[in-house]
Structure formats: structure tokens, C-alpha cells
Structure 1
Amino acid sequence: MVEGLPQFIASQRVCEDCLVGRQHRDPFPKESLWRASKVLQLVHADICGPINPTSNSNKRYLITFIDDFSRKTWVYFLVKKSEAFGTFKFFKSRVEKETGAFIRSLRTDRGGEFTSHEFTNFCHENGIHRQLTTAYSPQQNGVSERKNRTIMNMVRSVLSAKQIPKTFWPEAVNWTVHVLNRCPTLSVKNKTPEEAWNGHKPSVDHFRIFGCIAHVHVPDTKRVKLDAKSCKCILLGVSEESKAYRLFDPVLQKVIISRDVVFEEDQQWSWNDSHKEAIVADLEWDSDEENSTQREESDESGTDEVVGETESESDSGALIEENIQPAEISPRMERIRRPPIWMRDYVTGQDLSDDESASMAHLALLINQDPTTFEDAVKSEKWRQAMDQEIQAIEKNNTWN
């Protein structure tokens, strides 16, 4: 290619100046050289966060535990990283009692939450071998790092699909992990992580679209006869304790656990609108002069009214239904209100004349059988004693002084 170039012999000496200028990191292996052959033989753990915004329960971090053999994932939520030690003890107790096996190795990074004295001493006391990554080498904990990336990608997608507020990210994380544990993975051949963990094929018949509209049945004990039997909620996943769905009531701002649910998977809640609890006042009726006048005018105009009475042994408070011809009533006219049927025999005295009202007042006095004049009162011993006691009280209190 060129002329006059002398012959060079490849030097076996390390050139320090070359390393200063262009030294690079050694490549990481594409696949692990060793895989666990039993459950809990190796557990991967990592913390993801802080996540903004904080959740409705002030959680900012999530910690994942992954069994290397089955690749099943457990997720927990933390307010502070220092809670990792307590969470690991809870996870260890749970999985060891569930399987009858013991955690043999734990692979984490060198974060302070995993290298504290209490964490290290606990692992030594329980015979857990620690596998810590090299500083600035998260690739050595690639199983946890890749799982966290997959989880957060799915969380962003499900929150965006139904326009759910970001403060619900822990609910989306729980649902994502629930789905991933029941989906096939390249690391486990011909099995899902759930089946590889417990030996049973999981069911996915209960899967629904996260964040869709769910109509929840209201139990009989929480409503009366004419209350709604269903309320509209939002699906947030499944319950960990019950065979039921976990739902959120956006009106009452509370979480509901129920199995009696009807879904509208193509619908979503409008979070931008303000929703207030509806107040149903169809059973109220007024007796003011305005409604009386409208009732009289309606009767004089020859409006036909069909009154249907519905009575049953279980419901004594029947209602009166009104079917008014729509062509003869103006749309602006208010609905004529009628009292319920159980008040038909109740007389208010509103239509009585002055003389009749006075007579009714005298009859009420006679019914009580109390004396109406002083002459009648002094004839009774008990009334004389009552008057004497009243006079004594007046004199004692110096009322007239």
C-alpha cells in the first residue's frame, strides 16, 4: 500500500499510554453460565425508584424478588429504601413456608439498603449466600434490571390506554406482575412462571382490561328497597386475599372488593369531569299553594289521569304512578305530586272552616280530661297540691319581689 515502511514486531508489553487513551470495559456474557435447578436456589432482588408522583399511599419505590428457577416475580412497595430489610424478611417467611424450601443465595446490587450491617448479619445467621454485583455493573444483576424495565414499560402503557391518573401506578404494577407471572417466557420452556413455581396451570379466564368500567353489585345489606343495585367503578386488578376483583369507586373515593361485576372493557372513566353523588327526590311531594293551583287547573282542563296502585305483602308502602297524556300537558309544566297511599286516611284539617277548627280544638281538650277552669281544678286534691307546690316555688325564688 505504501513504500519505505520498516518492519515492526508486535510488542507484548502493555502500552500504558494506549490504555490511558482508549481503554474500554470488558464485554458482559449474553447468557448466564449457570441456572438454578430448584426453587429458591437463587433469588434476584432490586429496587426501582424513586417514582414520581408518589402513590395515593405515599409509596415511592418498588422492590422485586425473582426466583431464578421459575422466574416468578413478587413485588412490594416502599416509602423509603430503608424498608427493604423488613420487606425481605417478610418475603423470606412467606415463600419458605409456601414451598418448604429455603433461600440459598440472594443476588443484589451494592446499594446501601442491601449492604447494611443488619441485612448482612441476617443473611449470615440464616445461611444465605450473598452475590453482590461489582460497583457500577448493574448488568451482573440483569434478571432484575430487565424485569423492572419490562414492568415499567407495561405500567406506562396501561395507564395511558385508559387515561388513569399516575398516582395509581402501584395498582398498575400489581396487575402487570400478575399478568407476567401467567405469561410464557423464554427462560422457562413450555411453562409459565406460575406453573413452574407450584406445578399447577394457572387460569387466565378472569383477565380483563385494566382501568375499564366495571358495574359492581351492591349487597342487599348496604341498600334499601329503592336504592340502586349497581354502582359504576374502575377495575384496578384482582384481590390478593379473595377470589374477587379490586375496584375503585371514583365518586366515593374508596376501593371495593367484589366478585359480582359486569365489565365494559371498551369504556373508560372521564377523570376530568367532576362527579357528585346523585340525589334522587322522585318520592318527595309538596302541598304548597302553587302545586294545588296547578292540580286544580289540570283537573278543570279535563286531563285524564290513570292512577295505578301496586300493593304487595312484602312492601306496604306502595307508590302511586301517574300516566299523563303527553300531548295535553306542556313540557314546562311541573309534574303533579301526589301523597303516598298510606296517607290517604290522614286528615290535616287544612280544608276545615274556622268554626270547625275551634270545635276540633275543644274536642282535643276534652280528650285529655284535664280541668279547663279554676273551679274545676280546686275540686281535685292532686290539682290543689300542684298549685300549692307552684306557689311555694315562686315564693322561694322571690319571683314577685
Structure 2
Amino acid sequence: MLWHQKLGHMSEQGMKVLVGQKLLPSLTKVSLPLCEHCITSKQHRLKFNTSNSRGKAVLELVHYDVWQAPVTSLGGAKYFVSFIDDYSRRCWVYPIKKKADVFSTFKVFKARVELDSGNKIKCFRSDNGGEYTSDEFDDFCRNEGIKRQFTTVHTPQQNGVAERMNRTLLERTRAMLRAASLEKAFWAEAVKTACYLVNRSPSTAIELKTPMEMWTGKPVDYSKLHIFGSTMYVMYNTQEISKLDPKSRKCKFLGYADGVKGYRLWDPTSRKVIISRDVIFVEDKLQREEENDGTVKEKPESIQVEKEFEQRDSFEAEPAHEEPEPENSEAPTTRQSDRVRRRPNWHSDYVMEGNVAYCLLTEDGEPSTFQEAMISSDASQWMAAMQEEIEALHKNNTWDLVPLPQGRKPIGNKWVFKIKRNADDQIERYRARLVVKGYAQKEGIDFNEIFSPVVRLTTVRVVLAMCATFNLHLEQLDVKTAFLHGDLEEEIYMLQPEGFEEKKRKRTWFAG
């Protein structure tokens, strides 16, 4: 022990080497007793052995983690949450604006993957972040029968699958952004594209198969892949242009739209992310010209993202165009007035460009279609609202899924979205209602009479008067979805709700 202290608390193995070389006088063997100072000063973390336990089925074990971005994305996201299925190693990525959105995003993810796979999530593994350990999160998982696994404090290695996946996603994201010469604000678009590609890349964890192959059981089709940030030509809508205007403009490819048959694009002119299917890619042609000539034909433009344009999934603003001139050049011209034209005072409230005033009309951010909801910045909240509506419909046995009888036509439906606000104009909740397209119903077939099961205002006044007269206690009860419980005498066939189709079964629903 004396030599151990003289040598500055050298390890027992090191002292044995010196004793073997007979460099420590009077010491013939080394067997150190417990040295508390060595324990408290040298203790290191134990090695993490690679776990041999793997999920034996889809969604048996799901890993997830949250990553914080150094810059805000185009759509205002500051984080992304990733979910990885342990069996297939398929990954899902959701950009979010704040950590409090993790729980609502988790419910959206759960509804999506369980409907897609037909399996239930059995176990979740995450770190001990506050976004995962809330009472609301715990109660939800407990009610759904989901087992939760947490890492010990400051031990992210125990959630190695999620940590490695995030590293892979960020490595690809950095490479794609640099190759495309795009600013860091495009990180959310790059991460989602990287996730799309990782799901289609061979993985050593699943014996060099691809996650999508493990998930679907089918080989991956690579014929539709394109280079992130590459130049492409996008066609204008016919109502946006006149006959003499160009029919397309240059955009940059940002990835693949989820739930829509189209591509996500960056329009540098309007400085917006758009979705379109009418595109022409020129990446292969530019690459061949570069290889043949030895010079770069076109260099990607560096994009500076301004604050007022940081809207991720905004729609295109219709460009203004002058009216086309008459084809007959000899047509008489009208006399121009000599009166001096003055701009009205209300013009000062709008941005003027030349002789055109641009005005944006909105509906408090409420989408009008399912597609608009899915590409909006609040997609996770709208999906959670739709999932709540679907669960209520299933719980009340509103319909049965049956084959469509011969000679009957199913009625369509649509989602109606509404943001509920309080007196201070703060958002209280997102509401989604599934409504049938009643105008398609035929009298005598789908209905015989029309009525609205609502209370009469006179009845409400009588009840209030009685309570005031007899000093009674009054309570109000809001029965949600009550209007759906009427007993129908007719048989009504309706298509499945958009976004919640059960693909393995028939495509129409019967309610009656």
C-alpha cells in the first residue's frame, strides 16, 4: 500500500509490471487492499453490452427520442421527435414547435401505425425527459395497456436505438443541406427526407434488409427517388396565368409529401413550400452535361430565409398578371380620362407592388380539407382531433363495415375543422367533425323526413324560470356526438372517412 501511494495510486496491474522487472525494492508480489480514494477518484461508467433481445413483431417495442434544433425551421419547428419500431427499424419523424407537443404527436403516431399495421403498441422506451414523464402521458399509456421503459438518469446509451437513429438522420441531413447549398432553416424538410430514405436503406440490425420491407413484406421501389435540393420545373395552374405567360417555373425538390401523391418543393420566387405533382426533373440531364463538359451548368442558389416567409406548408399566392391584349390589333382603343386618379385611404393598409394590391384572406388557420390539415403547421393537433372523433364514433357503434349491395351508391363525407377559442382569443382545443354529404341523399331512398334534434329556446327559458322561482340548483351537461345516436329507419351507405380507411376490408360503411 505504501508503494501504491508513492506511485500516485498506480493500478495493481501497473505495479505488477514493475515488480516483475524488480524495480520496486523489497516488494515481491502485489495484492492491493481496498483503496477508497481510488474508487471515489477513478470510478468510470460500466460498459454497455449490445442487447440481444429484439422485438419479435411489429410495434412490440418502440423507441423514441426528441432532438432540439439550433435554428427554427421554415414552419416554426424547434424540435423533432423520432419513433423507431424495434422489429422493422422503421422510423417516423415529426417536427414540433415545443416539447409540450410530444404527447399529442405520440397519439397521432399511435393512431397512424396501429391502423396501418393492425397491431397494438405494447412497449415504449425513452429517456427520462419531462416531456415523457407527465401524469397525462402515464395515464394514457396505462389506459391503453402500453408498458413504459425509461433509461436511468444521464444514461442515453440505454436508449441506443433512438440515439443512433437520430445520429444517422442528422448525418444525412447535414450532407443533403450542404450538397444542395440550402440554409439551416431547411433542416425539417431535410430530416423528413432523410427519414424517408433511411426507411428504404439496408440495415445491419435486420440482416441488411430495409425497414420498409420488414414493415410491409414487399421490396422497395427506388424508381421515384430524386436528389434533395435538385432543380425541377413546376407547372402553374391554368387560372394563375394568361395564354402568353410561361407555363412553369423553377423550384427546388425538398422531399416527398406524406399522404398526398405529390412532391414537396421550394419556390424561391414566392419563398414558400408548395406541393405539386405536375413537375419535370432535370437532375439527370444536368449531371450528364456536367460530366461531359467538366463544368457545372447550374449552381444552386443560396436562399436567405426571412422571418415573414417562414411558413412551412403555406399555399401558393396567386401571381397577378395583366389582362391579355385583344388578338385583333386593329381594334379601336378607348379614350383615356384626363382625371387625376388618387389612391383611396384604405390602400395604405396593403402592400402595393406596381398597380396591384395584395390581400391575404384567412379563416383563423382552419383548413377546409383533409389534405390542407395534413400539410398545415398544426397537422399533429388536427390529427389528434380527428382521432378523437373516430374513437367516439367507434365507441358509439355508429356504423358497421359491410360490402356495398348491388345497385346502391355510397354517400361521401368530409372533415370539418374548427379551432375553439376562449374569451381572450387563446386556442382552447382543435375540433374535427365528420359530416356526411347530405346533398347526395335521395328522398325516399336515403331519407323520408328531415328534422333537427335540438332543444327549443322556449324550453330553456321555462327551465331557467323554474330554477329561479324555486331556488333550484342548475347544472349544464354537454353531451358530445349526441346528434349521431338517432335511430335511422333507412339503410344508409357511406364511404370510409378520409385518412382512416381500413384497407384490408371493404371500402364502404353501412349505418342504419
Q: Normalising TM by the smaller chain, what interval?
A: 0.5 to 0.7
Q: Distance in 1 between matches of 2:121 and 2:161?
A: 17
TM-score normalised to the size of structure 2?
Answer: 0.53
Deviation at 1:272, TM superposition (A): 6.1
Counterpart amino acid of residue 301 in structure 2: S
Deviation at 1:17, TM superposition (A): 2.5
Q: Distance in 2 between matches of 1:48 and 1:273?
A: 24
Structure 1's 271 and 10: CA in aligned 2 closer, same or farther, altered over 3 A?
A: closer
Q: Distance in 2 between matches of 1:78 and 1:134?
A: 25
Give the match for residue 134 of structure 1: 152
Greater relative contact order (Cα < 8 A, sep 6+): 2
State whether structure 2 residue 302 is matched by structure 1 residue 271: yes
Q: Distance in 2 between matches of 1:19 and 1:216?
A: 66
1:372-387 to 2 correspondences below 5 Å: none
2:182 to 164, 167, 188: 164
Q: Distance in 1 between matches of 2:135 and 2:333?
A: 84
1:89-104 to 2 correspondences below 5 Å: 89-104=107-122
Gaps of 5+ in 1: 285-316, 319-339, 350-401
Q: Distance in 2 between matches of 1:113 and 1:102?
A: 22
Can you list the C-alpha shifts for 1:99-137, whole angstroms capped at 9, x where unaligned? 111111101001111111111121111111111111111
1:132-211 to 2 correspondences below 5 Å: 132-211=150-229
State whether structure 2 residue 66 is matched by structure 1 residue 47: yes
Conserved 8 A contact 1:212-1:268 = no
Q: Distance in 2 between matches of 1:53 and 1:163?
A: 16
Deviation at 1:18, TM superposition (A): 2.2
Q: Distance in 1 between matches of 2:319 and 2:299?
A: 20
Q: Distance in 1 between matches of 2:125 and 2:183?
A: 34
Gaps of 5+ in 2: 1-20, 287-297, 306-317, 336-512
Structure 1's 264 and 113: CA in aligned 2 closer, same or farther, altered over 3 A?
A: same
Q: Distance in 1 between matches of 2:96 and 2:275?
A: 23
Of structures 1 and 2, the larger Rg is shown by: 1
Can you list the C-alpha shifts for 1:4-46, whole angstroms capped at 9, x where unaligned? 53455736x64322212322211111x2120111000000000
Deviation at 1:241, TM superposition (A): 2.0
Q: Distance in 1 between matches of 2:269 and 2:215?
A: 40
Can you list the C-alpha shifts for 1:47-93, whole angstroms capped at 9, x where unaligned? 011x1210122110011000000000000011111111111111111
Can you list the C-alpha shifts for 1:307-347, whole angstroms capped at 9, x where unaligned? xxxxxxxxxx43xxxxxxxxxxxxxxxxxxxxx4341xx48
Give the match for residue 291 of structure 2: none
Structure 1's 23 and 272: CA in aligned 2 closer, same or farther, altered over 3 A?
A: closer
1:32-71 to 2 correspondences below 5 Å: 32-49=51-68, 51-71=69-89
Deviation at 1:217, TM superposition (A): 1.7
State whether structure 2 residue 41 is matched by structure 1 residue 21: yes
2:329 to 336, 341, 345: 341
- SS of 2:178's equivalent in the other structure is helix
- SS of 2:232's equivalent in the other structure is strand
Give the match for residue 262 of structure 1: 280
Counterpart amino acid of residue 37 in structure 2: D
Q: Distance in 1 between matches of 2:172 and 2:30?
A: 56
Structure 1's 257 and 191: CA in aligned 2 closer, same or farther, altered over 3 A?
A: same
Q: Distance in 2 between matches of 1:161 and 1:180?
A: 18
Counterpart amino acid of residue 341 in structure 1: S
Equivalent pairs, count: 289
Structure 1's 111 and 28: CA in aligned 2 closer, same or farther, altered over 3 A?
A: same
Q: Distance in 2 between matches of 1:273 and 1:113?
A: 33
Conserved 8 A contact 1:45-1:144 = yes
Q: Distance in 2 between matches of 1:347 and 1:93?
A: 64
Give the match for residue 212 of structure 1: 230
Conserved 8 A contact 1:211-1:268 = no
Counterpart amino acid of residue 41 in structure 2: G
State whether structure 2 residue 263 is matched by structure 1 residue 222: no
- SS of 1:246's equivalent in the other structure is strand
Can you list the C-alpha shifts for 1:332-369, whole angstroms capped at 9, x where unaligned? xxxxxxxx4341xx4889xxxxxxxxxxxxxxxxxxxx
Conserved 8 A contact 1:213-1:268 = no
Q: Distance in 1 between matches of 2:187 and 2:252?
A: 14
Deviation at 1:278, TM superposition (A): 10
TM-score normalised to the size of structure 1?
Answer: 0.67
Conserved 8 A contact 2:91-2:199 = yes
Structure 1's 21 and 264: CA in aligned 2 closer, same or farther, altered over 3 A?
A: same
Deviation at 1:268, TM superposition (A): 4.5
1:72-83 to 2 correspondences below 5 Å: 72-83=90-101
Q: Distance in 1 between matches of 2:304 and 2:118?
A: 51
Conserved 8 A contact 2:183-2:303 = no
Conserved 8 A contact 2:183-2:304 = no
Counterpart amino acid of residue 271 in structure 1: S
**Which shifted more, 105-114 or 212-221?**
212-221
What CA RMSD, in Å, does the superposition of the two structures yield over aligned residues?
2.7
Deviation at 1:224, TM superposition (A): 2.4
Q: Distance in 2 between matches of 1:348 and 1:67?
A: 70
Q: Distance in 2 between matches of 1:57 and 1:347?
A: 49
Give the match for residue 139 of structure 2: 121
- SS of 2:76's equivalent in the other structure is coil
1:275-314 to 2 correspondences below 5 Å: none
Give the match for residue 510 of structure 2: none
Can you list the C-alpha shifts for 1:154-186, whole angstroms capped at 9, x where unaligned? 111111112112111111111110111111110
Q: Distance in 2 between matches of 1:66 and 1:82?
A: 20
Conserved 8 A contact 2:240-2:319 = no
Q: Distance in 1 between matches of 2:165 and 2:131?
A: 20
Q: Distance in 1 between matches of 2:154 and 2:234?
A: 50
Give the match for residue 10 of structure 1: 31
